């Protein structure tokens, strides 16, 4: 990532109706003067703008300035991004940078079901960027590393024992390879891998749907147990700020093609239990899994209880250790410090998830 990665006057952003993408849009509007071209599904530009505004509202980000947003009705899974050739060429000639955070995220689907969006879509993004030599920032994930012993830093390639096992991880790795190959061919491009992303550190706004960590936490309110294992998570507002700072600011000292965002302090399950404020015990992993299996045998159980033990490697395995030494040094140079993810912030997340109904209201005991 070098000076050529400064974002310029016109940024194409994908995934802006999703969780991370919504915060990237907010930070772009807040911290740059660029026009933001947002590719999203919708029949019309007006329909896309409504989806973008709904996402900003959903996460407490206010009302975006419509004069700075150019809604682009399209589809990552379609040839030419679902655009007419003239519109594709027009966009290719306009944008100075692309922030590609759009993807289909599903840890249960096989890779063949995710290829169109996550691989073919990335290929089309690179074709568009290449026409005008626009810089490309590809937002990836630690999921590109499969569960194996050892460490994985910015220079580690997800190959051999470290190759991804989920279909999602496999397609994101395929997208990475396309981006890195384009970089070798002269396109200014970078890959930013994010570890687990948590809610907004200021408002507590979360996206729990499909998030195995929050499903695990919700299960504890049924089973009364949490596994004794640390979990690493980075607040989404900081993740978005860091992505933009690393890619838009010259002179960070981060000159390689890959960056990692990983909070330096893991969260202990005792902190999660304290934030819940309910009678939840932290127990060894094998005892936790046995308890979930026992509850999962009940006919009226939440089906997720049967699946959670299968997610242990992903949520709690910590293998390989995802490290970010070069990126952390670059963030230090930029004056960016990870906000603490501690019991007060976890409590803010819990209150927000209770307000939406994802977590049940706390049990109140009578004092007689």
Summarised one tens digit per residue, pLDDT across range 161-220 is 899 988 999 999 999 999 999 999 999 999 999 999 999 999 999 998 878 889 889 989
In this structure, are 61 and 175 located in the same domain?
yes
Which carries the bigger pLDDT value, residue 146 or residue 331?
331
Residue 283 phi, psi (nearest 5): -130, 165
Instruction: Using a cut of 0.75, tell me whether the model's pTM lies above it.
Output: yes
CATH number at residue 107: 3.40.50.720
Distance between CA atoms of residues 30 and 26, nearest Å: 6
Confidence (pLDDT) at 311:
61
pLDDT value, residue 362: 83
Inside any domain, residue 362: no
- If asked whether residues 155 and 183 sit together in one domain, one would say yes
**Both structure tokens of 208:** 């729990």
Residues 105, 175, single domain; the answer is yes
For range 331-359, the mean pLDDT: 95
Judgement on whether residues 67 and 30 belong to the same structural domain of the protein = yes
Residue 300 has pLDDT above 90, yes or no: no
Residue 89: count of CB within 10 angstroms of its CB:
15
| CA pair distance 276, 266, nearest whole angstrom | 18
The answer on pLDDT for 3 being more than 60 is no
Residue 306 and residue 249 share a domain: no
Query: Count of domains in the chain?
Result: 2
Reported as a single tens digit per residue, the pLDDT across 76-109 is: 999 999 999 999 999 999 999 999 999 999 887 8
Q: For residues 256 and 210, give the distance between their C-alpha atoms in angstroms, rounded to a whole number.
A: 32
Give the whole-number percent of the chain exceeding pLDDT 70: 90
Q: Give bridge partners of residue 40 from the DSSP assignment.
A: 73
Residues 276, 186, single domain; the answer is no
Examine the domain organization and report whether 139 and 19 are in the same domain: yes
Q: Which pLDDT band holds residue 251 (cuts at 50, 70, 90)?
A: low
Q: Are residues 289 and 241 in the same domain?
A: no
Classify 346 as helix, strand or coil.
helix
Sequence-distant (≥ 6) Cβ neighbours of residue 194 within 8 angstroms? 20, 139, 140, 141, 142, 234, 239, 261
Reply yes or no on whether the pLDDT at 138 is more than 60: yes
Q: Note down the domain range covering 275.
A: 212-232+266-318+342-356
The packing angle between helices 325-333 and 236-248, to 10°, is 80
Of 118, 117, 182, 113, give the one whose Cα is nearest residue 144.
Answer: 118
Q: What is the mean pLDDT of residues 32-46?
A: 96
State both tokens at 197.
């992303």
Cα distance between residue 311 and residue 317, in whole Å:
9
Integer CA distances (angstroms), 216 to 130, 223, 237, in order: 42, 10, 23
Instruction: Name the H helices within 120-211.
Output: 121-132, 167-184
Instruction: Return the percentage of the chain with pLDDT > 90, whole number.
Output: 75
Residue 221 buriedness (CB in 10 A; 0-12 / 13-18 / 19+): middle
List, as own/partner pairs, every contact residues 157-164 make where C-beta atoms lie below 8 angstroms and the sequence separation is at least 24, other chains included. Answer: 162/320
Residue 366 confidence (pLDDT) above 60: no
């Amino acid at each position: 990532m070098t000076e050529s990665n400064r974002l310029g006057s016109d940024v194409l952003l994908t995934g802006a109706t999703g969780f991370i993408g919504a915060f990237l849009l907010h930070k772009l509007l807040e911290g740059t003067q660029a026009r933001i071209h947002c590719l999203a599904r919708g029949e019309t530009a007006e329909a896309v703008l409504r989806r973008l505004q709904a996402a900003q509202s959903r996460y407490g980000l206010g009302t975006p300035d419509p004069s700075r947003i150019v809604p682009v009705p399209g589809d990552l899974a379609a040839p030419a991004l679902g655009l007419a050739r003239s519109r594709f060429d027009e966009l290719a000639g306009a944008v100075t940078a692309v922030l590609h955070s759009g993807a289909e995220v599903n840890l249960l689907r096989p890779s063949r079901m995710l290829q169109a969006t996550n691989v073919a879509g990335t290929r089309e993004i690179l074709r568009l960027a290449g026409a005008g030599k626009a810089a490309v920032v590809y937002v990836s994930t630690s999921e590109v590393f499969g569960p194996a012993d050892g460490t994985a830093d910015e220079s580690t390639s997800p190959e051999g024992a470290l190759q991804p096992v989920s279909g999602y991880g496999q397609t994101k790795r395929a997208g990475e390879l396309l981006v890195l190959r384009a970089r070798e061919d002269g396109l200014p491009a970078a890959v930013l891998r994010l570890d687990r992303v948590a809610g907004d550190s200021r408002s507590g706004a979360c996206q729990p749907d499909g998030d195995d960590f929050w499903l695990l936490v919700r299960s504890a309110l049924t089973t009364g147990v949490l596994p004794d294992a640390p979990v690493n998570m980075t607040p989404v507002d900081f993740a978005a700020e860091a992505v933009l700072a690393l890619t838009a600011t010259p002179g960070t000292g981060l000159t390689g093609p890959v960056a990692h965002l990983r909070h330096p302090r893991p969260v202990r399950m005792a902190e999660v239990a304290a934030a819940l404020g309910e009678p939840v015990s932290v127990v060894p992993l094998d005892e936790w899994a046995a308890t979930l299996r026992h509850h999962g045998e009940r006919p009226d159980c939440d089906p997720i209880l049967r699946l959670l033990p299968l997610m242990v490697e992903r949520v709690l395995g910590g293998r390989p250790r995802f490290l970010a030494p070069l990126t952390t040094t670059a963030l230090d140079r930029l004056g960016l410090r990870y906000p603490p993810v501690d019991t007060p912030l976890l409590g803010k997340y819990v209150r927000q998830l209770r307000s939406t109904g994802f977590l049940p209201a706390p049990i109140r005991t009578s004092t007689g």
